[in-house]
Structure 1
Amino acid sequence: MEKKWFTISVYSENSVGLLNRISGIFLKRHINIESLNVSKSEIENVSKFTIVVYTTNEWVNNIVGQIEKQIEVIKAFYHTDEETIYQESALFKIASSLLFDERNIQNIIKESNSQIVTVSRDYFVLAKTGRRNEIDDMYQQLKPYGIMQFVRSGRISVSKAEMQISALLKEFNQ
């Protein structure tokens, strides 16, 4: 079967230990979690896990089924990249001297639509939001100049299709 990127959305109660149990489901199947983000959702008192994996349709379907068996999980969904709108964020810390001495650094900032977050005597910090490949491209362009620190967030995403979770919760609460 063909492997591809999937974004798994898990809606759950905010419960201690759930993240550990969910990651164990992937561990047992030797599937690497490429990206993970946990935040509050559009529904009060409900958390949303956004998990990115590279696997087959069959495996992701099995994983979502196992995740939904967790008591605190309300509902889990999976989508392909084509079915979602997604972004990642990254911060790059670079030596300040390069901002003024290397004209190409200014070009990279401008062409990548990144923002300067802060400038100090010793360093400046760039913020870039976009798709993974856009952040990777910027990283490769800045690498020859020396990146002092780099951090990337997990994927955040929303589905293009309407999620039925709100209707499901309304029905559940009646």
Structure 2
Amino acid sequence: METKYFTISVYSENNVGLLNRISGIFLKRHINIESLNVSKSEIKDVSKFTIVVFTTEDWTRKIVQQIEKQVEVIKAYYHEDDEIIFQDTALFKIASHLLFDERQIQNIIKASHAQIVTVSRDFFVLAKTGRRHEIEDMYHQLEPYGIMQFVRSGRIAVSKEAMPIRELLAEIEEKQHL
């Protein structure tokens, strides 16, 4: 079976300890989490985990089934890259003098569609949003000039197809009132 990237979306109640139990599911199977993002979702009081893994579809399906067994989890889905719209964000901290002394830095910023977030006497900070390979390309272009600090977010993603999470929650609520 082919190994590739999968994005797992998990809708859940926001309870202490859930992240630890979910990460344990990956640990037991010796599958590395490539990126992880947790935020509130489009539904009040429901959190969304976005987890990226590099494995087979069979392993991904098994992981999603295990995640759904957690009491607080409402629903989990997995997607291939062509089924979602996704982005990463990165921040680059660079010595300020390079912005003026190295013309190529300005060309890199312009070509990569990065934004200057802040400039101080000692450093400036660039923000780059895009696909992981775009951020890595920018990193490799800036690396010879010296990167003081670098950080990249976990993937954020929305599915191209509707995920019927609202309908599922409505059904659950309706059953509770019966």
- What TM-score, normalized to structure 2? 0.97
Q: Give the drift of 1:170.
A: 1.0
Q: Give the drift of 1:172.
A: 1.0
Equivalent in the alignment of 2:172: 172
CA shift digits 1:22-54 (9 cap, x unpaired): 000000000000000000000100000000000
1:115 paired to 2:107:
no
SS of equivalent to 1:147:
coil
Equivalent in the alignment of 2:34: 34
Equivalent in the alignment of 2:80: 80
**Within 2, Cα distance between the matches of 1:126 and 1:156?**
19
**Within 1, Cα distance between the matches of 2:125 and 2:148?**
10
Runs of 4 or more above 2 Å deviation: none
Unaligned ranges ≥5, structure 1: none
CA shift digits 1:87-132 (9 cap, x unpaired): 0000000000000000000000000000000000000000000000
**Within 2, Cα distance between the matches of 1:82 and 1:166?**
23
Equivalent in the alignment of 1:129: 129
Equivalent in the alignment of 2:13: 13
**Within 1, Cα distance between the matches of 2:128 and 2:167?**
35
Equivalent in the alignment of 2:140: 140
**Within 2, Cα distance between the matches of 1:4 and 1:121?**
44
**Within 1, Cα distance between the matches of 2:54 and 2:164?**
25
Equivalent in the alignment of 1:62: 62
Q: Give the drift of 1:148.
A: 0.1
**Within 2, Cα distance between the matches of 1:123 and 1:40?**
33
Equivalent in the alignment of 1:96: 96
**Within 1, Cα distance between the matches of 2:67 and 2:163?**
18
Root-mean-square deviation over aligned CA pairs: 0.4
**Within 1, Cα distance between the matches of 2:110 and 2:153?**
22
**Within 1, Cα distance between the matches of 2:119 and 2:10?**
38
Equivalent in the alignment of 1:161: 161
- What TM-score, normalized to structure 1? 0.99
Whichever residue aligns with residue 74 of structure 1, its letter is I
